[in-house]
Amino acid sequence: MNGGRAVFLDRDGVLNRALTRNNKPYPPSTIEEVEIPQGVPEALDSLRQAGFRLLVVTNQPDVARGTQDPVALNAINDYLSERLPLDHVYVCPHDDADNCDCRKPLPGLFHRAAMEYGLTLADCYMVGDRWRDIDAGHAAGCRTVLIDYRYAERGPTRAPDQTVSSLPEAAAWILQHAGV
Q: What length does the chain have?
A: 180
Q: What is the spatial distance between Cα 159 and Cα 120, in angstroms, rounded to a whole number?
A: 22
Distance CA 76, CA 84 (A): 12
How far apart CA 50 and CA 140 sit, in angstroms, is 22
Judge whether 95 counts as a catalytic residue.
no
CA 142/CA 107 separation, integer angstroms: 10
Q: Which of 10, 129, 135, 161 is catalytic?
A: 10
Catalytic site includes residue 12 = yes
CA dihedral 127, 106, 179, 147 (to 10 degrees): 20
Q: Active-site residue numbers?
A: 10, 12
